[in-house]
Amino acid sequence: MSAKVFDTEEVQGLLKAAANFDGKDGNARFKQILNRLLGNLFKAIDDLDITPDEVWAGVNYLNKLGQDGEAALLAAGLGLEKYLDIRMDAADKAAGLDGGTPRTIEGPLYVAGAPVREGISKIDINPDADAGPLVIHGTVTGTDGKPVVGAVVECWHANSKGFYSHFDPTGAQADFNLRGAVRTDTNGKYEFRTLMPVGYGCPAQGATQQLLNEIARHGNRPAHVHFFVTSGSHRKLTTQFNIEGDPLIWDDFAYATREELIPPVTEKTGGAALGLKADAYKDIEFNFTLTPLLQGKDNQLVHRRRATAAA
Ligand code: MBD
Ligand code: FE
C-alpha cells in the first residue's frame, strides 16, 4: 500500500477549495453535498489504493453512461432508487403512516402526457402478435376504506419484447402505446384493457449492462406494470406489480419486487365483448390504498426529469 494522504492538511484544503466551502457565494446545500461526496471518493481512493488507471476508467465510464442516457437506469440497477424507497418507507413509519399500498421504484421509463380517460382505457394501440389480452382493474380507496373518486391512475408497461413505447429501439410503438391514464369513477374504480407485458432487459451494449457484466450480474426485470396514483386528497403513490409466475420475480436487477405487489392472474372469457383481441384473456385485480396528506401536504412527492410526449 502506498502512503496515505487523505488526512493531510493539503488534501483537506483541496477538498474545501474544490467545493468553494469557505466562499460566501454559491448554493450552500450543494457545496455541503459536493464536499462530502468528493471527500468520500478521495478517501476511497486512498483506502483502496485505487490506481490512476482505475480512476480514468471510471471517469470514461461516466462519459459513456451519459452518452447512452443511462444514468437513471444505472441508479435503478445499483439499488440507489430502492434505497430511496427504503428511506421513504422508514420516514412513513416514523410519521405513523401505514396501511397504504407499498411504494416501489418509478424507474426511468415513464412518459408524461398520456390521455386521461374516464374509468376505463384501452391502451394497446399497436398490434403485438406475441402478447395476449390482459385486463387490469380495481378500486382506489383511502386508508379509511372509502373509495377515492376522481383519482388519476396512470399505468405504463412493456410489450411482448420487453420494450416500452418512446424508448423502443425498434420504433415499433406509437407514442402512448401501453401507457394510459384513467380517472376513477364514482365507486373509485379504474380499468385498463391492454396486452400482457414481458420482462425488461438492459440494452446489451449500454453502460449499465457493461458495469453489470463486470460484476457478473444480469440486467433483467420480471414482467411488471408501473403505476402512479394521484389525487388531490391523498399522497401520490408510485408503485408496480409483477406478473405472478415470472421466474425473475425474486431476482429483479432493480430490486423493486415486494410481497404485496404480486397479484394473482386469473383466466377469463368474454374478452370479445370488451373489445379485446381474443375472447380468452387474463385478468388482474389490483386495488390501491392511498395514504393521507401530512398536514395538508404530500411530503414525499418526487421531482425528477421525466420524458414527455403530446397525446
Ligand atoms: C424498467 O422497465 C424498469 O421498470 C426499471 C426500474 C429499470 C429499467 C427498465
Ligand atoms: Fe419498467
Domain boundaries of the chain, sorted by first residue: 1-50, 74-308
Mean pLDDT of 95-101: 93
Cα of 97 from ligand 2 centre, angstroms: 26
| Residues, CB-to-ion distance under 5 Å, ligand 2 | 107
The model's pLDDT over 178-193, given as tens digits with 9 standing for 90+, comes to 999 999 999 999 999 9
Question: Which atom of ligand 1 sits closest to the CA of residue 226?
Answer: 4
Cα of 172 from ligand 2 centre, angstroms: 18
Cα of 244 from ligand 1 centre, angstroms: 17
Q: Is the pLDDT of residue 88 over 70?
A: yes
Give yes or no for residue 75 CB within 6 A of ligand 1. no
How many helical (H) and strand (E) elements, i.e. helices and strands, does the chain have?
6, 13
Mean pLDDT of 165-177: 96
Q: Is the pLDDT of residue 175 over 90?
A: yes
Average pLDDT, the chain: 97
Q: Is the pLDDT of residue 1 over 80?
A: no
Give yes or no for residue 225 CB within 6 A of ligand 1. no
Q: Is the pLDDT of residue 285 over 80?
A: yes
Q: Tell me, what amino acid is at 99?
A: G
Place of cell 483541496: 14
CA dihedral 201, 262, 239, 189 (to 10 degrees): 130
Give yes or no for residue 108 CB within 6 A of ligand 1. yes
- The closest residue, in CA terms, to atom 7 on ligand 1 is 107
Q: Tell me, what amino acid is at 187?
A: N
Element (H, E) at 237: strand 234-242
Q: Which three cell numbers stand for residue 29?
A: 446545500
The model's pLDDT over 66-83, given as tens digits with 9 standing for 90+, comes to 999 999 999 999 999 999
Please tell me the distance from the alpha carbon of residue 21 to that of residue 34, in angstroms, as a whole number. 9
Q: Tell me, what amino acid is at 247?
A: P
Q: Is the pLDDT of residue 130 over 90?
A: yes
pLDDT at 310: 84
Q: Which fold has domain 74-308?
A: Protocatechuate 3,4-Dioxygenase, subunit A (2.60.130)
